[in-house]
Structure 1
Amino acid sequence: MIDPLILGFFGGALTLGFLVAAVFFLKFWRRSRDPLFLTFAVAFVLLAANQAAPVIFNIPREDQGTVYLLRFAGFALIILAILRKNLQKR
């Protein structure tokens, strides 16, 4: 069994990484006002919440909780944003 302190550390590191990616996409959205970048930023915030929630709420396995739905929503947003960008009329 992995030490919960180590799991908390890595969960926090991943959360920070996802939040940095979200800020990165928000920066590009402010410049271009392209909804693709805003959708990516929201998706990365959801992925950050997915990493932080098991540590905050002391969920031993993330596949056992409803926290997993945050990851699903984040990836679904990314897929829908890419589809919308590629299928829109020019």
Structure 2
Amino acid sequence: MYNFLSGMVTAGYLVAALFFFRFWRRTKDSLFANFSIAFLLFASGQFGSIWFDGQHDDNTWIFLLRLAGFVLLLVAIVRKNFTPAAPK
């Protein structure tokens, strides 16, 4: 049951990554590209925890993937909010 639910979470992360990738292709806004990459990192971390550990998430590299995803999200949001908008 744990593997099934973890697989569903991984699939959800991949769907979110594709969702943001679609908006990046349409707008070419780097915020969407960063969100897409972050969700790919989350999916790879979740997949790695299923593939290598099962129910034991005590490997450092899995947490580093998740940390990289969250840092990427925070940097993208801060950069989007504090850079001046281009004139239209």
For residue 54 of structure 1, report the CA deviation from its aligned partner. Answer: 1.2
For residue 58 of structure 1, report the CA deviation from its aligned partner. Answer: 2.6
| Contact 1:59 1:65 survives alignment (8 Å) | no
For residue 59 of structure 1, report the CA deviation from its aligned partner. Answer: 4.7
- Structure 1 gap ranges (5+): 1-5
The reply on whether 1:82 has 2:77 as its aligned counterpart is: yes
How many residues are aligned here?
84
TM-score of the superposition, structure 1-length normalised? 0.88
Q: How far, CA to CA, are the matches of 1:12 and 1:60 in structure 2?
A: 13
| Contact 2:3 2:54 survives alignment (8 Å) | no
TM-score of the superposition, structure 2-length normalised? 0.90
SS in 2 for 1:15: helix
Structure 1 counterpart of 2:19? 24
For residue 87 of structure 1, report the CA deviation from its aligned partner. Answer: 0.7
Structure 2 counterpart of 1:41? 36
The reply on whether 1:69 has 2:57 as its aligned counterpart is: no
Aligned-residue CA RMSD in angstroms? 1.0
- Structure 2 gap ranges (5+): none
Percent identical residues:
44
- Matched residue type, 1:8: N
For residue 68 of structure 1, report the CA deviation from its aligned partner. Answer: 1.1
Q: How far, CA to CA, are the matches of 2:55 and 2:27 in structure 1?
A: 41
